[in-house]
Amino acid sequence: MNLFNGVIPVTGTSFMLFCILVILFAGYALGRITIKGVCLGDAGVFIMALLFGAFFYEPLANQLVLKGETEALRYADQAIGIVEKLGLIFFVTAVGFIAGPKFFGNMKKNFKSYVLLGAVIILAGGLAAVACIFMGRGIGFGSSIETSEGFTAMIVGLLSGSLTSTPAFAAAKATVAGEYVSLVSVGHGIAYIFGVLGVVLFVQLVPKFMKADMAVERAKLEAVDAGQAKEEKKGLFKLDDHGFAVFALAAFLGTLLGSVKIPLTSAGLSGTCFSLTTTGGCLLVSLIFGHFSHIGKMSIMPEGSTLKLLREMGLVLFLVGAGIPGGAEFVANFDPMYFVYGAIMTIVPMIIGFFFAKYVLKLNLLNNLGSLTGGMTSTPALGTLIGVAGTESVAAAYAATYPIALIAVVLVSQFLIILF
C-alpha cells in the first residue's frame, strides 16, 4: 500500500519523518478529546502510532519485501528504533533530574513502603500470570500454540507487555528456548497496548472516583517533601544557558551504566544476565546529578524549562517508536484470549497495588499513584499523572519504586519460564 506515490518516496528518510510528524499532530489532537473529564492525553500519540503501524507500516513493509527492497525496510526499522530509544533516554533522564532534589530524602523516609509496594505489584502480576497459564491449559492454549512451553512463553511476553517492561521482555527472550522466542515478542506486542492505556486511564479515573481535590492532594505531597529540596546555589558556572551539555553527559553515563550486564548463575539462570538497561541507568545517573546539582563551582543541573521540554518530547517520541511496530504485531498475531490475559495481568497488580498503598502503607493519593506508575514500570502513565496532579513532585515516588519493580519483574519472568 502506497498512498503517497509520486509525492513522498516511501523508501526515503523523508517518508518516515513525514509519518512521525503526522502521527504527533493527529495523536495530540486525539489526546485532547475529553469525555466526562477523562482524556487520553499523550497516549493519543500512542494510539495513532498503533493505527499507523497496523494499517500503513505493515502493508508497506510487506510491499518492500515483495519488491526485494529489504535494505530499505531495515533502514526504516532502524529509524523507528532510534526514535524510540532517543525518546526513552530524553524522558527518563529528564524525570531523574526533576525528581533528584527530593528523591533521596523521600526514599530515606519511605524506603520500606516503596520496596514493599514494588514487590507486591510485581508479585501480584506474577500470580496473575500463573493463573492465566492454568486457565489456558484448561480451555486451550490459543491459536497457533500447540505446546505448554510455547504457551508459557506467550504468557511471559504478555506479562512484560502488561507491565510495559522492556527489561522483562529482553530477559524472557534470553531465557526461553529458541523456537519460542517469537511468541514472547508477539505476547509483548499484544499486551503492551492495554499495559499503556490501562494505567494511563487508571491514574485519571481514580482521582475522579475519589472526588479528590488536587490542590489539597498537592499540599499533602508538598508537606511530605518539605525540607527535602536542596537550596539552589547562586553564581555557578554553566557550560550552556539551557543545560543541554550536562543533560547529554548524564544520558551518556546512564546509557553506559545500563549496558553493564550482571550474570545470573543461581536458580538455574545460568547464561542469563541482568542489567539496569538504558531506562534504569539514565534514571539513576540523572537522579544523582539532580540530587547534588553541582560539582564545585560548576552546575550539573539543567534549567527547569529544558527538563520539561525534553520530558514531553521524549515521552511522545518513545510512544511513536513503540507504537508503530506494536500496531503491526497486534494485527498480525491478535487472538481475543491473549488480549484478555494481558488485561488481567495489567488490572490485577494495579488494583492490588493501589489498595495496598492506600490501606496498608497509608500513602497519600499522589504518592500512591506516583509509586503505582513506578511499580507498573509505566513511563507513559507518569507523564499523564504529572498533568493530572499539576506537579512534578510525583516523579520522586515513581523513581523510588521503579528500580525495585524493574529487578522484580525480570526475576519473576525468568522464574515463570523455568517453573512452568
Query: Mind listing the pLDDT tens digit of every residue in the chain (420 residues)?
Result: 444 444 444 455 667 788 888 999 999 898 888 776 666 777 788 788 878 887 887 777 667 666 766 676 677 778 888 888 898 889 888 878 887 777 777 677 777 888 888 889 999 999 998 998 888 877 765 555 667 777 788 888 888 888 877 656 656 666 666 667 667 767 777 787 788 788 888 888 888 888 888 888 888 777 665 565 555 566 788 888 899 999 999 999 999 988 887 776 554 455 556 667 777 788 889 989 988 888 888 999 999 889 989 988 988 888 788 778 767 666 666 677 888 888 899 999 999 999 999 899 888 888 888 889 888 888 778 878 888 888 888 888 887 887 778 778 777 877 887 777
What is the residue whose three cell numbers read 495489567? Answer: 346
Q: So what's the pLDDT on residue 8?
A: 43
Distance CA 228, CA 104 (A): 8
Q: So what's the pLDDT on residue 2?
A: 47
pTM of the entire structure?
A: 0.70
Phi and psi at 295, nearest 5°, equal -120, 110
What is the residue whose three cell numbers read 532517543? Answer: 86
Instruction: Give bridge partners of residue 123 from the DSSP assignment.
Output: none
Distance CA 149, CA 209 (A): 41
Q: So what's the pLDDT on residue 128?
A: 92
Rounded to a whole number of angstroms, the distance between the first and last alpha carbons of the chain is 42
Question: Which one-letter DSSP state was computed for residue 41?
Answer: T
Q: So what's the pLDDT on residue 354?
A: 93
Spatial contact of 45 and 23, defined as CB atoms under 8 Å apart: yes
Q: CB under 8 Å, gap of 24 or more: what pairs does 140-143 form?
A: 142/335, 142/337, 142/338, 143/335
Q: So what's the pLDDT on residue 142?
A: 58
Chain centroid offset of residue 203 CA = 15
Distance CA 148, CA 3 (A): 43
Q: So what's the pLDDT on residue 6?
A: 45
Cα-Cα-Cα-Cα dihedral sign, residues 53, 58, 60, 65? positive
State the chain's maximal CA–CA distance in angstroms.
Answer: 68
Which cell numbers hold the place of 136?
489456558
